[in-house]
Structure 1
Amino acid sequence: MDEERTARFEAVYTATFAHLLGYALRRCDCQEDAADVVAETFAIAWRRLDSVPPGDQTRLWLYGVARNVLANQRRGAARRADLSAALAAEVTGFYEQPSEDDAVRRAFRTLPADDRELLSLVAWEGLDHGEIAVLLRCSRNAVRIRLHRARKRLNRALASTGAGEPVLIRRIQ
């Protein structure tokens, strides 16, 4: 029975994949979302294989499932956007938002990701060298050296923006 079920699903998949992918691509904003829709549609088809109609009706049935998956995806995106907006509104009062013209912000964005992370761990998270060493799985001395180099790169980046005075990144309390 499992072999017969698997063979039927493989036949449905082979016959309809290209059609279903095209359907999803034309309705999604990005290829990744379309791939998710197709994957979820075929997962549902596998679970409900006994409900999948035979012949020409198979593709139409899968389009209906994909349509529902798309609707669920859009509802989820809307919920996430609403929650993100509510959270942003809630935390706005806790932190001062820097302006986009802020020289430190511009200079910070030019740094390599590892430097940004290290400086953020010190300045924003308030971690000391020992805590960072545990987090990054390296020695305290390595953290000290990396932090020194990251600060130097930040100061050079600041100087190139015309900000002038060097910055010493310490804990923000």
Structure 2
Amino acid sequence: MDDARARFEIVYRETYGRITAYTVRRCASPQDAADVVAETFAIAWRRIGELPDGEEAALWLYGVARKVLANHRRGEFRRQARNVRLDTEMADLYGASPDSGVELRAIAQIFQSLSDDDRELLSLVAWEGLDRQEIAVVLGLSRNAVRVRLHRARRRFARALAEADVRFTSESRLIPAERQL
């Protein structure tokens, strides 16, 4: 039991911040995020034998957190409050570059209008900084399926931006060039 506890404590210390950030960006309130994080790590403790080693542990926890969030959402009112929060967060996230020429409100509305799956994929890249292989582990998909879905999500987002006449240059890209997959 001591080995399992020590292993859990190490994984907890190494991943708590990332898993918390992941859930905070997806919950309507800090209290909801705290509940999701607590449940995620409770599951990790109960299933310590299934917890992978190294960086795979964080990816496994992202997958667990994703499922806990899905269960949490089923019991919630719907996502109206979350969408309002997302608008604010998008403005805060990209508002630091006033010379970008990006129409933040339009971008937030367009991002909000995407399907849950498209928003999740784009968020895993932009907010969590995950690559295709890591996303595949989190979502339980093949790397190729992630590649195709991510390409399509980006294309739908770009098309929606173009239809709304939102223009941006390579200097004001929504996703930094070093994170492009």
In the superposition, the TM-score normalised over structure 1's length comes to: 0.44
Larger radius of gyration: 1
TM-score by length of 2: 0.42
Greater RCO between the two (CA within 8 Å, min separation 6)? Answer: 2
